[in-house]
Amino acid sequence: MRHTSYSDYALRLMMYLATHADRLCTIEEVAAVYDISRNHLTKLAFELGKAGFIKTARGRYGGLTMAREPASITVGEVIRHTEEDFALVECFKAGRNTCVITPACRLRGVLSKALAAYLAVLDEFTLADLVADPASLNALYALAPARPTAAAAEAAQEEVEATTGIDPTDPDGPVDAPARGGRPRPSKT
């Protein structure tokens, strides 16, 4: 069974929040630790907040924290909430099954039993089980490379422009660079 990155990120976000239960965490710090899109995490945090898994606080001093105790959240509960589709094969899809052997096929029953067993195993483990060793997780979080801030990116652009005379944000590139097709571009004067 393969899960979407949405489920993966949901579990990782909640693991991070559970290991930092003493404070509010920001989308930016979680995005930096896991190297995940800030926009993707924002959407995910909104949905997890609506579902009651996490609390979100807006504003200058806002952030994220767990809404429930990690021991009360099973991995299966999160997966059921974040996965859209558990149709392992076509015959699981009501109204869209065109398989001609469905009336005599036993595959659907076997796969249904396997899916139920899979989810039952996920229900045996809680978020608290996933973060049972917070010191190790926090040590690994500290090793995550820092992503450049907007100010750092702007400073890097200014340095490139100052040392080369090239504006790295100019969509036309350097004035003297050949255009596509090999002909020089006209000078900007």
Tens of pLDDT along 122-158?
999 999 999 999 888 988 888 877 655 555 556 566 6
- Give me the phi and psi of 31, to 5 degrees please: -60, -40
Residue 164 amino acid letter:
T
pLDDT at 22: 92
| Third-level CATH fold of 5-87+127-143 | Arc Repressor Mutant, subunit A (1.10.10)
CA distance 136 to 138: 5
Out of 27-36, 40-49, 95-104, pick the least confident.
95-104
Rounded to the nearest angstrom, the gap between the alpha carbon of residue 26 and the centroid of all alpha carbons in its chain is 14
User: Residues 11, 130: contact at Cβ < 8 Å?
Assistant: yes
pLDDT at 114: 86
Q: Which residue has the higher pLDDT, 92 or 114?
A: 114
CA distance 130 to 18: 10
Mean confidence (pLDDT) of the chain = 81
pLDDT at 43: 93
Burial of 104 (0-12, 13-18, 19+ CB in 10 A): exposed
Does residue 3 have a pLDDT over 70? yes
Structure tokens, 59: 């504003």
Structure tokens, 148: 């450049």
3 state SS of 122: helix
User: Residues 74, 41: contact at Cβ < 8 Å?
Assistant: no
Structure tokens, 132: 């049972």
Does residue 180 have a pLDDT over 50? no
Select from 37, 69, 32 the least CA-distant residue to 53.
Answer: 69
pLDDT at 177: 47
Q: Torsion-angle region of residue 166: left (phi > 0), alpha (psi -120 to 50) or beta?
A: beta
Mean pLDDT of 14-18: 96
> How confident is residue 96, by pLDDT bands cut at 50, 70 and 90?
confident
